[in-house]
Amino acid sequence: MNSSGLLETDRWHGKAFHGEWVQGAAKIDVREPATGEKLGEVGESRPDDLPAVVARAQAAQAEWAVQPAERRAALFRRVAQLLEADRGALIDAIVRETGGLRGKAEVELNGTIDEIIHSAAILVQPEGHILPSRDASRLSLARRVPLGIVGVIAPWNFPMLLAMRSVAPAIALGNAVILKPDPQTPIVGGVALARAFEEAGLPAGVFSVVNGGASVGEALVEARGVRMITFTGSTAVGRRVGELAGKHLKRVALELGGKSPFIVLDDADLEAAASAGAWGSFLHQGQICMASGRHIVHRKVVNEYVEILTRKAAALPVGDPYREQVAIGPIINAKQIARVDQIVKDSVAAGAKLATGGTYKGPFYKPTVLHQVRSGMPAYELEIFGPVAPVIVAEDEDDAVRIANDTDYGLSGAVQTGSLERGLRVARRIRSGLVHINDQTINDVAECPFGGMGASGNGSRFGSMNNWDEFTEWQWMTVGGKPTRYPF
Ligand code: NAD
């Protein structure tokens, strides 16, 4: 990958950022999913690198936490400016490394910059309360204090944004952070962040990036001195991370998978609903945790809805988003494309009707609509993480709500209806962390609480004010001018 600016290769090629750039124990090749072309290589970290990375972070954090808030905020503003100044190269890099469209990359970079700006802003918000005191001569207060070191484990689908939404607020609020990006996207998901903080003048050791897969991830979760883990990824790995964090009594924020319901009632504008539904299922090839995983459509309108959705799906051009004008790019890897295809085939074998798609060439899976999907079929039960829209028939409003909640997941949800009253009535009954009336399921902005219920998370919420709760803990402090005397 040739680039001037933050991603200039001389600085990081073959290295990991253990508070400073170090040669890796081995190399991790980073490949473009659309072509297989090698984009670069980073250095792999070893699990036994962690104690030294943690020791360095501990020393740096103690200094960082006592920097005046305005100085920390100024540094964050510089990070935002650096990313903005390198916009063109970063967008190209996100497109090539994640296989996403240019528009997706723009949303990702803009969201990343928003996270930084919001993190600079929370620094100058009140950081505690004055409490009622039982002794008039003493002041009683509650103050928010940083946790210490926060470990961040991020996925490959929106690697920059999903890392930064934890990294930025955690560092802003006085913590040091050790990030482990997914090994498929360590340049935009790790190098770019490290270079931006480094160029902005963040003291060495406050931010580190360790590269690798499960063994390095587990070593980070277990590392002595790491007080919290924020993990974004699959529910299966989230359970493992939660188990290890529990064993070591660490705070853990788990942002996991989803199977989000997209309900279409019989009074909906079907063209608009199908447009939203297509976006919800096919954006970034469906590789989004909030993807519309089940289209739950009122029996009266289901045939017309499937017809429109099928027309839209069949018209979406598929190909290499870096070199062609397409709407659907590649699936991240061969294992995932085989999994998507298996889910579609098994569902068809179980009685679902293939309205369009269901085939692939290389890494490119055609947008697929599956009609008459029912409980028990893989397309009904499993998170697909591919461009597949399963359509399920609902008999009425109550049945739609029942189906929507017929899942262990609870990340997002949406209702399409011509009646605001009906929309509110249905949306209130959906068990999910996010729900949108007359929109689709994919929405994430820095100022709103983001997180899932059920198997989609463990109750953590990211976003602006909520970040105080995630990345600090309370300390009760009392202070008096004179020492208190006791009967002893
Ligand atoms: P994944 O769980 O396979 O990997 C996520 C991260 O965990 C990667 O960095 C990976 O290297 C690391 N990892 C893997 N095994 C580990 C272990 N044993 N210990 C510690 N770390 C380990 O997920 P993925 O395939 O990268 O991402 C897709 C999944 O992520 C989907 O289920 C999707 O819904 C979910 N996701 C959730 C959100 C959200 O905000 N809720 C956002 C994006 C993706």
190 CA → ligand 1 middle, Å: 15
Q: What is d(CA 418, CA 166) in angstroms, rounded to the nearest whole number?
A: 38
Ligand 1 site residues (CB inside 6 A) read 153-157, 162, 180, 182-183, 213-214, 217-218, 221, 232-234, 237, 240-241, 255-258, 289, 383, 385, 411, 452, 456
Tokens of 278: 């297509």
Is-catalytic flag, 97?
no
Residue minimizing CA distance to atom 26 of ligand 1: 155
Residue nearest ligand 1's atom 8 by CA: 182
Q: Pick from 44, 97, 157, 337 the residue to mutate for probing ligand 1's pocket: most ligand atoms within 8 Å of its CB.
A: 157
The protein residue whose alpha carbon is closest to atom 13 in ligand 1 is 214
Q: What angle do CA 194, 198, 201 make, to 5 degrees?
A: 150
pLDDT attached to residue 2: 45
304 catalytically annotated: no
Task: Find the 66 Cα to ligand 1 centroid distance in Å.
Answer: 33
Task: Per-residue pLDDT tens, the chain, 488 aa: give them.
Answer: 545 599 999 999 999 999 999 999 899 999 999 999 999 999 999 999 999 999 999 999 999 999 999 999 999 999 999 999 999 999 999 999 999 999 999 999 999 999 999 999 999 898 999 999 999 999 999 999 999 999 999 999 999 999 999 999 999 999 999 999 999 999 999 999 999 999 999 999 999 999 999 999 999 999 999 999 999 999 999 999 999 999 999 999 999 999 999 999 999 999 999 999 999 999 999 999 999 999 999 999 999 999 999 999 999 999 999 999 999 999 999 999 999 999 999 999 999 999 999 999 999 999 999 999 999 999 999 999 999 999 999 999 999 999 999 999 999 999 999 999 999 999 999 999 999 999 999 999 999 999 999 999 999 999 978 999 999 999 999 999 999 999 99
Pair 33, 117: CB distance under 8 Å: no
Distance between terminal CA atoms of the chain?
72
The span from the CA of 360 to the CA of 98, in Å, is: 18
Beta-strand relationship, 414-416 and 436-437: parallel
Residue bearing the CA closest to ligand 1, atom 22: 214
Nearest ligand 1 atom, CA 155:
26
Options 289, 381, 383, 470, the catalytic residue: 289
Q: What is the pLDDT of residue 4?
A: 58
- pLDDT for 465: 83
CA of 268 to the centre of ligand 1 (A): 35
Instruction: Give the distance (Å) from ligand 1 centre to CA of residue 138.
Output: 48
